[in-house]
Amino acid sequence: MATARLSPTANLLRKSRLFALPSALSKPQEPPTSRTVFESDSATLPHPVRASIVTPSSSLARGDWGLKRPLPAKSTSEKSSRPIVRVNALDTFEHVTDFESAADHTVTLEKFQELHMPMSLPSKVNYATSIMPRHQSPFEPNVDNTDKSKGLGEPGAKQFRHAGPWLAGQTEAEFHAYLDQVRDQKPELLKKLRERYTAKRTAERRKQAQDNGEDLKALGPIQVSEKEFQAYLKTLRADPFSLGPVVFELLDLPSPPAVPSDRIGQKYYQSPGTKLSSAEYAVSGPPKTHPSAGLSYTRSHALIYNHPSHGPQAYQRPVEARILRPKGRFKGRTSKAIAGVGGIAVEDLNAMTFVEQGSPPGLAYFDASIPGGAKYWVTPIRASVDSEGRIGLASYRASATAKAPYGLEDYKKPSLTSISDAARGDQRFVPRLDGRSPDSASKRQHETEDIARTLMRTLRSS
């Protein structure tokens, strides 16, 4: 069978990497509020919305990125040792290519992969205790399902995506548009509801025959008349508490948040138990991506970190965290400290339990005297992605056992009674303020004296 010949233009587009780029995602929307919101156009987004583009070194020297026109070296290769760009527009009104650096999300991904952390399903962390929620991988067969997965028939199966929308996160216009869509599907929905009612009547009839000792093989299919079906519909419409689970199951809607306590005594549409893979999704909505977001594909943290000198270790090498915001009091409450781990903002879990004498310098209050900013060593223990695509990382302060094999220590501020390292050693010279060692200074002095003697001999001989 002869293959169809393609035109040169079609062949060019088929092999072009530029046309293989996925379409841009929508930017995350901030929740509506009446307060003043301070935003920055250049701030890093919680998740990438455009694909990152790299080019080989041979093409980078010519500024060739596979786009419509070459990109200037001043903004790419001369600005970074490993340039990565994202394209906002291939051709603007001014006939230029609008691009920017994509190193923010790319480097964050590389830093996160160096942590060797498996992804977990989101779970609420209780800061009052030191007990972390149990790790549950989003790749397990009983939770890694959508509305079209075959594993939903298994008992206790969960899913992270439903066919219907999350009603609690819709605006009024979106909700009315969805109602119009449901009205157009009324004949199909009534047919499914009739089949569901027939299956319910059949199960009740078989249960009754089994209790009476009748032969189940002799039972035929239950025939539901139109009158009985209409009576069933009237019963559901009169009881919202019973109609709610039927609607959620018929339209395949994710469960909404829990009903407030002040409405428990009133009539409302009861929702069935959530089928989402995590209970946090019932509060914040189903995830917009896979619960792992493609950051890691390992299922557990059962790894052995082999030290070249001390052998297998119970903890991985600690990671240095930078304190972004120390602890403080806001509206009469003590706020948690915020630290940066691998480009991810992390709430310090131990900040509420630290004693002021044992906490790292700069954690209780801002201290500008610490060289390079306040930092301390942490051990990441849990990572997850919420429904908005933001990375949630939990970490504990690294213990002395985890830091000992690598010779790591937290910074200790010198006190009035502390003795410097120069005074503790056997050296008999005062350290120079410019950082140069006395040996290099004396060597440089001898070289200068030799040059002076050589110059004097030359002058005398002449």
> What DSSP string describes 276-296?
BSSTTHHHH-S-SS-TTTTS-
Mean pLDDT confidence for 19-30: 80
> CA–CA distance from 210 to each of 44, 199, 204, 206, 216 (Å)?
64, 16, 10, 6, 7
What is the C-alpha to C-alpha distance for residues 377 and 411, in angstroms, rounded to an integer?
Answer: 10
Q: Write down the pTM of the prediction.
A: 0.75
Amino acid at 283: V
Mean pLDDT of 270-295: 86
Instruction: Tell me what pLDDT residue 124 has.
Output: 78
Average pLDDT over residues 140-165: 87
Higher pLDDT, 244 or 416: 244
- Nearest one of 149, 251, 234 to 192, comparing CA atoms: 251
Written as one letter, the residue type at 436 is R
CB 362 within 8 A of CB 350: no
- Could you give phi then psi for residue 204, rounded to 5 degrees? -65, -40
pLDDT at 441: 56
The per-residue pLDDT of the chain, averaged, comes to 81
Residue scoring higher pLDDT (181 or 263): 181
- pLDDT tens figures, 192-213: 888 888 888 888 888 887 777 7
Say yes or no to pLDDT of 19 above 60. Answer: yes
H-only helix segments in 79-125? 103-114
| Position with higher pLDDT, 267 vs 171 | 171
pLDDT value, residue 304:
85
C-alpha–C-alpha distance, residues 88 and 92, integer Å: 10
Which pLDDT value is given to residue 120? Answer: 92
pLDDT for 303-337, tens place per residue?
888 888 889 988 889 999 999 888 876 666 667 88
What is the residue whose two structure tokens read 């004097």? 456
DSSP labels for 191-256?
HHHHHHHHHHHHHHHHHHHHHHT--STT--PPPPPHHHHHHHHHHHHH-HHHHHHHHHHHHTPPP-
pLDDT level of residue 422 (50, 70, 90 thresholds) = low
Largest interatomic CA distance in the chain: 133
Tens of pLDDT, residue by residue over 110-126, are 999 999 889 999 987 76
Spatial CB neighbours of 128, under 8 Å, sequence gap ≥ 6:
352
| pLDDT attached to residue 177 | 92
Q: How many helices (H) and strands (E) does the chain have?
A: 11, 12
pLDDT tens for each residue of 243-253: 888 888 888 88
**How much is the pLDDT for 291?**
92
φ and ψ at residue 195, rounded to 5 degrees:
-65, -40
More confident residue, 4 or 107: 107
Checking if the pLDDT of 431 tops 60, the result is no
Which residues 6+ apart lie within 8 Å of 375 measured at CB?
A: 320, 321, 322, 323, 360, 362, 411
Which are the contacts of 301, defined by CB distance < 8 A and separation ≥ 6?
116, 117, 118, 135
Dist CA 455 CA 444 (whole Å): 17
In the block, which residue shows the tokens 């109602």?
179
List, for residues 329-376, the tens digit of each pLDDT value.
666 666 788 899 988 888 876 654 444 446 788 888 888 888 888 899
Residue 346 near residue 394, CB atoms below 8 Å:
yes
Average pLDDT over residues 135-140: 90
